[in-house]
Amino acid sequence: MRTVYGRCSGRAWAVALRILGSRADAEEVLQETFLEVWRRAREFDPSRGGLETWVTTIARTRSIDRRRSLGTVARIAEDVAHQPPPISAAPPDPSEAAVLGQDRARVAAALRELPPDQRTVVELAYFEGLSQREISERTGDPLGTVKTRARLALEKLATLLVDPSAQEWE
């Protein structure tokens, strides 16, 4: 568990902090995340994705749940703007850092390929944890339009982010 924490806590905490905007809330979510990882360790399936992705997804889900329970979106957004960027507790392995850097660059490039309206929907949903209804309220767009933009954006991202090495085997 110590190894898993060392490997995944920085990223999980950064996601929680970005969504919640509060260091105290992010720390609580991080603790809840690793308790859940401990309890659900047998459910981890490496064929469905990497360990970091699984832990980060748990942290993201917990963060969104906490944010919704806190309610005050305006306060949270204001707090996020005043927080310094998170610093990982343990330096990543250089090869892992290189792969993560490449992944981040691919995702950033793919997001830039989306039309602005679709990119906004993805960013609000993933980085701020808003539901489609909340995105509709924030942007003033009809809920159906938000749903369509989300679907189109995810379809385009799936196409743009296909692993080229995986295609060679198909």
CA distances in angstroms from 93 to 13, 15, 137, 164, listed in the order given: 18, 20, 42, 24
Question: Using CA of residue 157, residue 13, residue 10, residue 49, what is the dihedral sign?
Answer: negative
CATH number of the domain to which 129 belongs: 1.10.10.10
In a domain, 1, yes or no: yes
Q: What's the number of CA atoms in the CB half-sphere (13 Å) around residue 87?
A: 2
The confidence score (pLDDT) of residue 78 equals 62
* pTM of the predicted protein model: 0.48
Per the listing, tokens 């290189």 go with: 98
* Domain range for 124: 92-162
Task: Say if residue 10 is in the same domain as residue 29.
Answer: yes
Q: Provide the domain count of the chain.
A: 2
Question: Using CA of residue 46, residue 51, residue 55, residue 57, what is the dihedral sign?
Answer: negative
Task: Say if residue 18 is in the same domain as residue 28.
Answer: yes
User: What is the tens place of the pLDDT at every residue in 95-130?
Assistant: 666 666 677 788 888 888 899 999 898 888 877 778
User: What is the tens place of the pLDDT at every residue in 46-60?
Assistant: 888 888 889 999 999
